[in-house]
Amino acid sequence: MSLLLGLYLKLVSGVLVGWILGKILPPKVPKAIGVFLFWIGVPLSMIIFLRGADLSGGIWLSPLLAWLAIISGAILARGWIYLKTPDWNLGTQGSFIFASMFGNTGYLGYPIILALTGEKYFAWAIFYDLFGTTLGAYGLGGIFAGFFSEHRVKTTFKDLLLSAIAKPIWWAFAFSLWFRQIALSPPVEMTLVRVGWCIIGLSLILIGMRLSQLKAWQKWRSVSAGLIVKMLCVPLLFGFILGLGGVSDSLQLVLVLQVAMPPAFATLVVAETYDLDREIAVSSIAIGSLSLLVTLPLWMLLFGNG
């Protein structure tokens, strides 16, 4: 409970500061922060926190789980559309399904997992995000979105794959595997960790700034089913499967949290790029991010030893 309360304090304060700043600062400020985090901040924080992570065991099961969760979310969301809203146009269907597939496993998943479980299993969260969410959202997701686009944006699989792997976080990941072997003095290690947490705080502020700029909240009824699929049904399913498979304690919680993250901001990026339903994308991100405050205690209770 103390861990959860501490996490809520960090999340709410960081996002609230960002929300306020987003209302008073010009739009170029969050854009500049986003560019900094994309090219420097997030890659640097990965290098720092991966030093203390455990890379042993079946860590490659993490991206496998990510892909299974992504596919499960798509199937359940498509089933809901077929049964309840078959009259939706292609753009609305695409945004709804995409939001049910890909979570905010980087900017939001990283700080939550570090705060609740520490660095030991942080590598599992990174592998989930890189080889699951990142490759999925900007690789498979592009092909998927192109299918639902009214204008049928033409993009080759090669272009999508190159776009996904050209991100600086991949180079940081490769460097961090080498950097783990370099011994540093305790003061230097402590300084690096502080820098890492400052970057995480900045990412929470950026989330708040972006949320403050979202305008469409009125489609909450339409997105609620997708959020139930993304943030409740799929995490519950895989959480119990992991338990039956002998995965327990902190590792189980790490993986369930990554599965249960609210829709990623990539949902909006893809919706705008491929001319899908922007309002569905915006509402899913905004309402999903707020819903996380309600679902986190559930995952702690079920998979965090109470």
Q: 22: domain CATH number? A: 1.20.1530.20
pLDDT at 244 over 90: yes
Task: State the average pLDDT for the chain.
Answer: 89
Least confident of 96-100, 133-137, 189-193: 133-137
CB 200 within 8 A of CB 182: no
Picking from 266, 268, 284, the residue whose alpha carbon sits closest to that of residue 276 is 268
The confidence score (pLDDT) of residue 38 equals 85
By residue count, the chain amounts to 306
pLDDT in tens, 44-73: 998 999 888 888 778 989 999 999 999 999
**Whole-angstrom Cα distance, residue 291 to residue 288?**
5
Q: Residue 2's pLDDT band (boundaries 50, 70, 90)?
A: confident
The confidence score (pLDDT) of residue 100 equals 96
Backbone angles phi, psi at 103, to 5 degrees: -105, 170
pLDDT in tens, 251-275: 999 999 999 999 998 898 888 878 8
Q: What pairs with residue 263 in β-bridges? A: 103
Q: Residue 70: which domain range?
A: 2-303
Q: For the residues of 91-137, what is the DSSP string, one character each?
A: HHHHHHHHHHH-B-TTTTHHHHHHHHH-STTHHHHHHHIIIIIIHII
Here the tokens at position 217 are 């909240």
Q: Residue 163's pLDDT band (boundaries 50, 70, 90)?
A: low
Mean pLDDT on 93-115: 94
CA distances from 27 to 30, 207, 254, 272, 294 (A): 6, 13, 34, 18, 30
Here the tokens at position 233 are 């049904």
Q: 268-297 in b/e burial notation, b at 16+ Cβ within 10 A?
A: bebbeebbbbbbbbbbbbbbbbebbeebbe
Mean pLDDT on 126-135: 91
**Whole-angstrom Cα distance, residue 4 to residue 253?**
13
For the chain, the domain total comes to 1
The whole-model pTM stands at 0.90
pLDDT at 151 over 70: no
> Angle CA(140)–CA(141)–CA(143) in degrees, nearest 5?
65
Tally: H helices and E strands in the chain: 17, 0
- In a 3-state reduction of DSSP, which class is residue 224? helix
pLDDT at 111 over 70: yes
Higher pLDDT residue, 219 or 271? 271
The confidence score (pLDDT) of residue 158 equals 66
Q: How many CB atoms lie within 10 A of CB 157?
A: 11
Residue 278: which residues within 8 A CB-CB, separation 6 or more? 95, 216, 268, 271, 272
pLDDT at 115 over 70: yes
Here the tokens at position 176 are 């961090």
pLDDT at 109 over 80: yes
CB 247 within 8 A of CB 57: no
Query: What count of Cα atoms within 13 Å lies in the side-chain half-sphere of residue 140?
Result: 14
CA distances from 271 to 138, 157, 220, 276, 288 (A): 12, 18, 17, 5, 17
Picking from 114, 121, 126, the residue whose alpha carbon sits closest to that of residue 173 is 126
Mean pLDDT on 224-242: 96
The confidence score (pLDDT) of residue 156 equals 60
Question: How far is C-alpha 260 from the chain's CA centre?
Answer: 9
